[in-house]
Amino acid sequence: MSLPHARANLAVRKVVALKQTLEAAAYTVRHPVILWVIGLAAMSIAFGGGLDGFWPIYASGTGLSLPHVALFSGAISVGQIMANILAHRLRSVPETGFYILLFSMGALLILATGLYQPWTIVVVALIPGLFKLIDVNFDARLQGLIPSDSRATLGALKTFSGQVVMTAVLAGFGTLAQATSYRIAFLTCGIVLTAVAVIFLIARRGPSPSSQT
């Protein structure tokens, strides 16, 4: 609050903002690889952020006590921190590798929910950190794929897309859990993740963006 106000270099009006948005959209159409990067990043934001509040419910459902659930939640946070620190080590992994990672995450969730025993929290605790690996890497790849004057616009598009999908995930998860059980809702999320990964693997064509980061 004590710092002097910065002098405005550019007065942005709605017309200018709309023009920038349209130019960014046109650039994306000319470079379809960006859509795939935004798509997987949005899925990571949606499921990673959407399920964050439900992991303690998973732990409680397996029979863990409240103190153990708290420790489980702390372990998840530590795992996410470590994923953020180590994410750069995966910068050379091809795009397909992250689709396989997403499939593996869905498979882990299916396995853990199918067994649904207290020890399966060890498996589940890995999943939020893996979402962070995808999110950090694909955000970096998106930054490397687009020109500087479109980064803010396309970055906002990625976040907006993730929030839209997250809203659908939360609504679907809650409705399904209320109609059946949390266990079924978690199992369905695992199935959806594996299905999305398979769709990306089959449909994705063209060069990987990893070389441009």
For the chain, percent of residues with pLDDT exceeding 70 = 90
Which pTM was predicted?
0.81
Taking the alpha carbons at both ends of the chain, their separation in whole angstroms is 37
| Statement: residue 140 has pLDDT above 90 | no
Give the pair of three-digit tokens for residue 120. Answer: 């399966």
In the predicted model, what is the mean pLDDT of residues 173-199? 95
Give the pair of three-digit tokens for residue 72. Answer: 């489980």
3-state helix, strand, coil in the chain (%, to 5): 80, 0, 20
DSSP state of 93: S
Please name each of the domains of the chain with its CATH number: 36-138+161-212 (1.20.1250)
Torsion, Cα 124 126 129 133, to 10 degrees, reads -120
In the predicted model, what is the mean pLDDT of residues 5-24? 65
DSSP state of 125: T
